[in-house]
A and B are shown apart, each in its own frame.
Chain A
């Protein structure tokens, strides 16, 4: 500390000492550099300005809101509004056009695909894969087979309301658990599984027993010809495209336990323009009808 009454000036530097001394070595009390000190004072003055301009002081009934009236939540709303203006005309056009108009207008369709692709990466890719290739239980969107239909309007409905999503307008329809619920015997399941395998993998073996079971139990949804029915989400069983696997073991598993994947309803989670863009993007992936 500096003792003003007995100030000790260091001869070599002309600076006061703190009065501490160790074996003849004295500690200098060098003042803070002026530039540093002025910056410190400036920040203190800055703080007062900040208190006046921005929300700062808590009071019993609330807090000061600042002369600028800035709020972090207001700022993000403004940013989002700016973003809308930035995307501007094209998004407005998406909002005004029907899906058919969007896909017929090359420029708008290109925008919708690009816009849709980024939304797909964040929202759809976790299930359907980054390229829409799907995986077991998650439909491939590149193939030209659609559980719930592959037209623009059908894809749009699936996106908006989902499948088995709890949305009242969502797609419903389950593959029953024929084995677990005792609807078919083990032998019947084995027979019908052989028949279903033969639909996409022709065999010379006799599958007529399975065909009979199929006609009575499966045809109401999958159709007499097993070509499926998009109204109830019953897949076409005559192709090599399988959601849960087309080998006999997988088909038996499906028959025993039933199936019914969930697709969330995206209404409310994504805005209508994004859903339209996603529709056009998914439709363009290769299998759109």
Chain B
């Protein structure tokens, strides 16, 4: 057992122990994390995933601010019961423009990865204002104030610029037109929606709440929720080619 006795070197010298721990942890990182950055199979090739529109991005910020991720995941795991309930399992490509991603780790409420389009805008608004009005047994808190708070989007261009630095393909045009696009996405009958959809394919314009406030936080959050999981074109997605 003399080889094991060499371990005493680590036990006796704190610096040697520190370096030893670093080496072991680095091996773990090299093997488990590093390959994700170069393996082509990490992010699937899919059609349809696009950056968030400015309004959806602002809604996503509300989602993060209110801590929705604490109770709702956005990750349908590749398990039979999850696919049966929520739809196709989540793909890495679907959160490639998320910084940070909203996968979550706990479900007090249901998964939201594919909630987009599942219910109507009216339902989402009613449910946010008072979840019990549509789901009697719900324990979700009310977020009625979102409908009365004006959306602060003064910094949306800065947010988009930072995301562009992180690799989200926002063009200078998209960033420059952010304010216009926010208003366009809340005016379904306006001709500016055409430009919005040109920049952000499949973007859906939502009727705004129509109160005194032009753009509410609820408008933004609903726009975000209504596009979750709805961008990938699964008709063009090859399940067999993306087994892993």
Q: Which residues, 57 to 80 on A, are CB-close (under 8 Å) to B?
A: 57-58, 60, 62-63, 71-77, 79-80
Evaluate contact between B120 and A263: CB separation under 8 angstroms: yes
Cβ of A13 under 8 Å from chain B: no
Evaluate contact between A4 and B2: CB separation under 8 angstroms: yes
Q: Which residues, 75 to 113 on B, are CB-close (under 8 Å) to A?
A: 78-80, 83-85, 87, 89
Residues of B within 8 A of A215 (CB): none
Residues of A within 8 A of B244 (CB): 55, 71-73
Cβ of B118 under 8 Å from chain A: yes
Evaluate contact between B35 and A123: CB separation under 8 angstroms: no
Evaluate contact between B87 and A269: CB separation under 8 angstroms: yes
Evaluate contact between A135 and B120: CB separation under 8 angstroms: no
Least distance between B29 CB and chain A CB atoms (Å)? 12
Evaluate contact between B119 and A127: CB separation under 8 angstroms: yes
Known contacts A1-B12, A58-B39: does B78 contact A75 (CB below 8 Å)?
Answer: yes
Q: Which residues, 38 to 92 on A, are CB-close (under 8 Å) to B?
A: 55, 57-58, 60, 62-63, 71-77, 79-80, 83
Residues of B within 8 A of A57 (CB): 31
Evaluate contact between A76 and B118: CB separation under 8 angstroms: no
Cβ of B171 under 8 Å from chain A: no
Cβ of A204 under 8 Å from chain B: no
Cβ of A138 under 8 Å from chain B: yes
Find the residue from B117, B120, B121, B244 having the highest chain A CB count within 10 A. B120
Evaluate contact between A262 and B8: CB separation under 8 angstroms: no
Evaluate contact between A72 and B80: CB separation under 8 angstroms: no
CA distance A63 to B41 in the complex (A): 9
Cβ of B145 under 8 Å from chain A: no
Q: Which of B40, B41, B120 contacts A127 (CB under 8 A)?
A: B120
Evaluate contact between A73 and B120: CB separation under 8 angstroms: no
Smallest Cβ-Cβ distance to A55: which chain B residue:
B244
Evaluate contact between A138 and B134: CB separation under 8 angstroms: yes
Q: Which residues, 23 to 67 on B, are CB-close (under 8 Å) to A?
A: 31, 34-35, 38-41
Least distance between B138 CB and chain A CB atoms (Å)? 9
Cβ of B18 under 8 Å from chain A: no
Task: Type the 1/0 row for B4-15, where 1 means its CB is closer than 8 Å to any CB of A.
Answer: 010010011000
Smallest Cβ-Cβ distance to B44: which chain A residue:
A73
Residues of A within 8 A of B41 (CB): 62-63
Residues of B within 8 A of A122 (CB): 85
Evaluate contact between A2 and B8: CB separation under 8 angstroms: yes
Task: Type the 1/0 row for A1-30, where 1 means its CB is closer than 8 Å to any CB of B.
Answer: 110100000000000000000000000000
Cβ of A220 under 8 Å from chain B: no
Evaluate contact between B89 and A73: CB separation under 8 angstroms: yes
Cβ of A126 under 8 Å from chain B: yes
Evaluate contact between B243 and A262: CB separation under 8 angstroms: no
Q: Which residues, 136 to 156 on A, are CB-close (under 8 Å) to B?
A: 137-138
Evaluate contact between B120 and A264: CB separation under 8 angstroms: yes
How extensive is the interface on chain B, given as a class?
Answer: 35 or more
Least distance between A113 CB and chain B CB atoms (Å)? 18
Known contacts A73-B244, A76-B80, A126-B134: does B122 contact A261 (CB below 8 Å)?
Answer: yes
Least distance between B220 CB and chain A CB atoms (Å)? 19
Known contacts A55-B244, A262-B120: does B39 contact A73 (CB below 8 Å)?
Answer: no
CA distance A166 to B126 in the complex (A): 21
CA distance A76 to B80 in the complex (A): 6
Evaluate contact between B123 and A127: CB separation under 8 angstroms: yes
Find the residue from B38, B85, B127, B134 having the highest chain A CB count within 10 A. B134
Cβ of B192 under 8 Å from chain A: no
CA distance A71 to B133 in the complex (A): 43
Residues of A within 8 A of B38 (CB): 60
Cβ of B146 under 8 Å from chain A: no
Residues of A within 8 A of B35 (CB): 58, 63
Cβ of B135 under 8 Å from chain A: yes
CA distance A1 to B120 in the complex (A): 70
Least distance between B88 CB and chain A CB atoms (Å)? 10
Known contacts A2-B5, A73-B78: does B133 contact A135 (CB below 8 Å)?
Answer: yes
Q: Which residues of A contact B (CB under 8 A)?
A: 1-2, 4, 55, 57-58, 60, 62-63, 71-77, 79-80, 83, 122-123, 126-127, 130, 135, 137-138, 166, 261-264, 269
Q: Which residues of B contact A (CB under 8 A)?
A: 2, 5, 8, 11-12, 31, 34-35, 38-41, 78-80, 83-85, 87, 89, 117-123, 126-127, 133-136, 204, 239, 242-244
With A71-B243, A73-B244, A83-B80 already in contact, 4 other A-B pairs whose C-beta atoms are closer than 8 Å: A1-B5, A1-B11, A80-B83, A264-B119
